[in-house]
Structure formats: structure tokens, C-alpha cells
Structure 1
């Protein structure tokens, strides 16, 4: 069952704070990646290359956990658990929006054959001291 994010959590995600996404490998061990993040309503959005391990893991097992912390106060954090859908990042729209958010510049051009995907996490549980 999806949950609604608090204003504090939304503010953490909306600011240019980094996030760590944890997925499960084929053998059940966790795999972590530091990511740029944004949201669409209460869903969290990430962009990655479709062949990266996190995307491979999520296509097989959509469960994930995300930790977002305040870069100015790392003790202020939130953990969001949920399920992830993997869809094409048409026109690299999300990637470019994230690059502008985090760097103020468009993302450098990638080879056209690089498959970019959107990871959309629908929250099911929220924990942490900034929730």
C-alpha cells in the first residue's frame, strides 16, 4: 500500500541532496548506488543506464530501499522502502532535469545507443528522523 510523503521528506528529496538506493542481487545480497533523485508526487524518480546492475536487479525483484540525507546536516535523513518500476527515459528527459538540479548544466551527450531508464519507486514505508 502506497504511503504519502511528509513535507519534511518532500523537502529533502526536492533539494539537491544525494540518495542511496539499495537493490537485491540475484544471490540476495544488497547492492547500493549513490544517485541523483527527484519526485513525481510521492513517487521517487532516478535515471540510470538500463544495463547497470541496479536496473538489472530491479527488473528481477522490484523491491528497494532509498536513503536520502540532508547534505548540510547528514544526521537528518529518511529511509523510504517500496517497489520500483523500470521504464524508458524517453529523450533523456529525467536525466537532463536531474543534471540541471544537481549541476546547473545539461547532462553531457551520451552515445545514442546508451539505453537510459527511469526508476520509479512507489513508497510503502517511511522511517528516519526527518520523516
Structure 2
């Protein structure tokens, strides 16, 4: 079901992969791909990065992105998402800590304190979602 704004809801299988958490591959620009942690806010995917990184420049230049998430234990089960991303400054510190706890079981470890203020959130609104394979 496409919403009036052109977005689509994440199906339960896609939500489950994001919530697992599984690693996501973000594709931006021309052939740029990044392995990232992913979370969600409802049907929107959330990723955190730093303002000076290439993926931010790519999203600002061309907000259409692709995301691939797959189950590490069953890689033939995956979800492909095409969407539109935007860069937000608010909530980056909270998100990186939430994702660090989900992926590592520990709070976010600050490696370069001067760069923490440069953290931003990539908020991705899905336009197309395809789920492949089954989780079991």
C-alpha cells in the first residue's frame, strides 16, 4: 500500500531484520556502498554517521538511496529497500548509543571526542520494499 506521500510501510519481515539487529548496506550516489548499523522509527530506517563522511555528501547531493539487510544466519533471507534519505542533526547521540547497545551489547564508546558533535542521523523513508527468502 503506497501512502499519499509515496512512501510504503515496512512489512513485518523487514521490521524483524532491522530489529534483530542485522547489518545494513547503504547504497548512495554512483556505486558507493557502506556497511552500517540500522534502526527504525516506525517505518523509517535510521542510521547514524558523521557530517564529514561521504555518505552525507552523497545524500545531500542525491537523496535517493538503497538499503540491503540480510540475516547473518540465513543470508538467503534479505530485504531490499529503495527510499529517500534526509540528514538530521537532532537525536544523533541518542541513536548511536541505542544502536551500539543493540549491536555490541555495550554503550557507545567515544573514540574521537572532537568528532562527536558532527554526528548526524540519516532518516530513510521507504518507497519500495522487497523481501526475499524466509527467516526459517
The separation in 1 between residues aligned to 2:114 and 2:20, in whole angstroms, is 30
Conservation of the 8 A alpha-carbon contact between 1:47 and 1:89: no
Structure 2, unaligned runs of 5 or more: 1-5
In structure 2, do the counterparts of structure 1 residues 129 and 93 end up closer, same or farther at CA, with 3 Å as the change threshold?
same
Conservation of the 8 A alpha-carbon contact between 1:8 and 1:130: no
The separation in 1 between residues aligned to 2:82 and 2:24, in whole angstroms, is 13
The separation in 2 between residues aligned to 1:49 and 1:112, in whole angstroms, is 11
How far apart are residue 89 of structure 1 and its match?
Answer: 4.3
Please tell me whether residue 19 in structure 1 is matched to residue 20 in structure 2. no
- Runs of 4+ in structure 1 off by over 6 angstroms are none
Structure 1, unaligned runs of 5 or more: none
The separation in 1 between residues aligned to 2:133 and 2:87, in whole angstroms, is 27
Q: Counterpart in 2 of 1:122? A: 125
Conservation of the 8 A alpha-carbon contact between 2:13 and 2:131: no
Tell me which moved more, 11-20 or 88-97. Answer: 88-97
Q: Counterpart in 2 of 1:100? A: 101
The separation in 2 between residues aligned to 1:62 and 1:41, in whole angstroms, is 20
State the number of aligned residues: 127
TM-score (norm: length of structure 1): 0.91
The separation in 2 between residues aligned to 1:102 and 1:130, in whole angstroms, is 23
SS of the counterpart of 1:79?
strand
Q: How does 1:65-80 map to 2 (within 5 A)?
A: 65-80=66-81
TM-score (norm: length of structure 2): 0.88
Conservation of the 8 A alpha-carbon contact between 2:92 and 2:120: no
How far apart are residue 91 of structure 1 and its match?
Answer: 6.1
Conservation of the 8 A alpha-carbon contact between 1:36 and 1:46: yes
The superposition leaves residues 27-55 of structure 1 with CA deviations (integer Å, 9 ceiling, x where unpaired) of: xx220000000100000000001110001
Cα RMSD of the aligned pairs, angstroms, is: 1.5
Conservation of the 8 A alpha-carbon contact between 2:50 and 2:115: no
How far apart are residue 112 of structure 1 and its match?
Answer: 3.6
